[in-house]
Amino acid sequence: MDQNNENFEHGPSTQSFKRPRAQDYVRQDIQYATREMIQATLASTQTGIPNWKYSLCIVQKSERARMCGFGEKDRRSLSPLPIVQLFVSDENGKPVDIENIEYNFFVLHATPYKCGTREEASLVIHPTSQLGFKNQTNTRNLLGNLIASGRKLKDHEGKSGIFFVYQDLSIRTDGDFYFEFNLMYLGFQGMVNIGVHPMSVLASVESDPFVAYSAKKFPETTPLSRAFSSQGIKIATRSDKKGRNTSQEQ
């Protein structure tokens, strides 16, 4: 080994050596981006993002749910959980390459509504407020994370896209509901918007209705399963959870 190696200076013992100083590795030609340089590369809009066209498509929609009530132990997620895809095009309607999109700054907010109305179903009166307490207490009707961040993922056909995946949503009350998903951008002129500047909704989409059942009415089996069960096939149904057929064979 070269004793005059400029990276390591060996001492009297092979167990000790002097490491190179950090400044020895600093390149003198490195330039760090300043705020002025960042702003110069941004689009000439208020938020600094390009004036593109944004559209949303619900690629997986919720169909049913079992209400979880006001406890915290027996939470059942919506089935299936909603997944929304973002599509971006330029002023001429040409699709924008997702590699040129800062998808991490896009978020999607889910708001539940009662079917047939524009009445939000985000809050519900807690049962304790109906037992003679003076102050009415409201609580969230939709549990879980109502905001999903944009992610670059591949779908089941191997196609890349920007998706918003809701991984944990439950609902307290029964009834017919639908979602409104609103797309927003968290950036502002190259920085994270912490709420100082207003955020506008870039795109919205409404889901198809889904039904939230009570525990007693939740359809655990299909009509086909019940038909086979009545013919002697051992299939667990709501009226026969142990798999024994209680109907008489014809």
CATH of the domain at 87: 2.60.40.3960
Residues 117 and 237 grouped into a single domain: no
Q: Which domain holds residue 238?
A: 220-250
Residues 73 and 150 grouped into a single domain: yes
Which of 28-32, 78-82, 136-140 shows the highest mean pLDDT?
A: 78-82
Residue 236 lies in a domain: yes
Residue 18 lies in a domain: no
Domain count across the chain:
2
Residue 182 lies in a domain: yes
Residues 92 and 181 grouped into a single domain: yes
Residues 90 and 162 grouped into a single domain: yes
Secondary structure element (H or E) that encloses residue 205, with its range: strand 203-206
Residues 79 and 164 grouped into a single domain: yes
- What residue has token string 């978020």? 107
Secondary structure element (H or E) that encloses residue 225, with its range: helix 223-229
Residue 37 lies in a domain: no
Residues 121 and 241 grouped into a single domain: no
- Average pLDDT over the chain, rounded to whole? 75
- Give residue-wise pLDDT tens across range 173-194: 999 999 999 998 886 555 555 5
Residues 61 and 184 grouped into a single domain: yes
Q: Could you give the residue ranges of the DSSP H alpha helices within 100-189?
A: none
Tokens linked to 176: 């017919």
| Whether this model's pTM surpasses 0.75 | no
Residues 203 and 246 grouped into a single domain: no
| 3-class DSSP assignment, residue 23 | helix
Strand partners, 167: none
Residue 13 lies in a domain: no
Give the list of residues 6+ apart from residue 197 with CB closer than 8 angstroms, or none.
47, 188
